[in-house]
Amino acid sequence: MTAPRRLLLVNGPNLNLLGVREPGIYGSDTLADVEALVAARAATHGFEVRAVQSNHEGVLLDAIHDARTDCAGIVINPGGLTHTSVVLRDALSGVSLPVAEVHISDVMARESFRHFSYVADVAVVHVIGQGVPGYGTAVDLLIDVIAGQADG
């Protein structure tokens, strides 16, 4: 069976406000800009992208669970759930897909409560503090892992 040529892009709570929320931290790009960037970058590798954003944890969990049947990997910016959600971490671990964790800002240079990530130990790629372009980097690195060209 051929591996699926699709990535799941997950954006967590408040990322629907990109371009409006704290542009000094997150920039002026919108969620639509992020989704277009990821789709274009994935396409250069022959992959398509299914994107989901929700402010509701259960919606994200369902999308992650569904990905196990038709995706080769997951690019995720969990937003604030990074620091609070064991169930999100367990869902990512449970689907046994390679995961790229993305954060637009440098979370380690921000408030101390942002320094811990429940996702970190299940992600094979971490792109932090590169702004929206970091999503493209995450796609490239994750596809390298999927293709067996990198260990993560």
Q: Which of 45, 56, 103, 115 is catalytic?
A: 103
Q: Is 11 annotated as a binding residue?
A: no
Q: Is 90 annotated as a binding residue?
A: yes
Q: CA-to-CA distance for 93 and 74, rounded, in angstroms?
A: 11
Q: CA-to-CA distance for 116 and 50, rounded, in angstroms?
A: 27
Q: Is 25 annotated as a binding residue?
A: no
Q: CA-to-CA distance for 123 and 77, rounded, in angstroms?
A: 11
Q: Is 115 annotated as a binding residue?
A: no
Tokens of 86: 């064991």
Across 5-140, where does the E strand assignment appear? 6-11, 48-53, 73-77, 99-103, 125-128
Q: Is 85 annotated as a binding residue?
A: no
Is 103 tagged catalytic?
yes
What is the phi/psi pair of residue 80, to 5°?
-65, -20
Is 26 tagged catalytic?
yes
Q: Which of 26, 45, 115, 126 is catalytic?
A: 26
Binding residues: 77, 83, 90, 104-105, 114
Task: List residues with catalytic annotation.
Answer: 26, 103
Binding residues for substrate: 77, 83, 90, 104-105, 114
